[in-house]
A = this chain, B = another copy of it.
């Protein structure tokens, strides 16, 4: 391993606002780059919001997160994990997308992740709206359904919208279960809240076996118990982490398409992600960052920091597996 090559640019030499923006100041290595075989974890942007039913803009998420992620540093103070030392990390750039064709976009995204998987790179992505997780899972779960820790205000297991439309950012996990990509019995949803369309809208998911922890239950359980429950649900199997920033209270993440008041704090989110250490994590994403709806840019800062937290627990697992 060439440590220098994959080390982030340091802020004590090059100021954090200077230079081209890559995710966490990592080297940009395209899928056809000769150094791809050395990459362990690939940070990837998915600049697409074609599944958005209300306020668009998440297509601009990856670029703004790249910009602000240059403020990330190297060592996790809480856990001591040094992701850039234990794994070779790189910014793989953005996936191809088609802003005017939903199905074509999903196919392009899956093709990109197929190549990532083939190169044995664990992906950590930034969306894009939440529908992007479906084409990602189509690549990652080729060999069988995965478990998932899902942070969100919404279950995203609705069925159809606007008549007969199967694919929106409200439906990816229903489709993922139907397609055999996601094991509902190894899936936990945390942060669910907000009014319902109707009484029974959550029944389908729970009937499949999804463990739903809404904000009321979250408040009564406390962060530590939720972590234990998440660990129990996903067990030792391959597990994906998906974090919709609307899981957070909108004061932390106003720049998102479907904000709901009464959500998680960032401290809670950080603690919960740290609590996933030791799980068999294979990848993750942070989605629904919509820059046009946040003039302060704080949403992107939150997303970049949570990506770093996921990266730490992901790197701990990838590093362990590589060492075997």
Contact = CB atoms under 8 A, between A and B. Distances in A.
Given A251-B251, A296-B295, A267 B262 contact: yes
A186 B121 CA distance: 49
Contacts of A261: 252, 266-267, 270, 301-302, 305
Interface string A80-113: 1010000000010110111111101000000000
B66 A20 contact: yes
A94 B19 contact: yes
A214 B267 CA distance: 13
B19 A93 contact: yes
B13 A20 contact: no
B162 A98 contact: yes
Nearest to A23: B20
B56 A59 contact: yes
A13 B12 CA distance: 32
Given A22-B20, A301-B261, A197 B295 contact: no
A127 interface: no
A143 B112 CA distance: 47
A281 to B, nearest CB: 19
Interface string A152-180: 00000010111101011000000000000
20 contacts: A14-B96, A15-B53, A15-B99, A16-B54, A17-B55, A17-B59, A18-B62, A20-B93, A50-B100, A74-B196, A76-B195, A100-B165, A104-B162, A195-B308, A259-B298, A260-B305, A261-B301, A261-B305, A295-B295, A295-B296
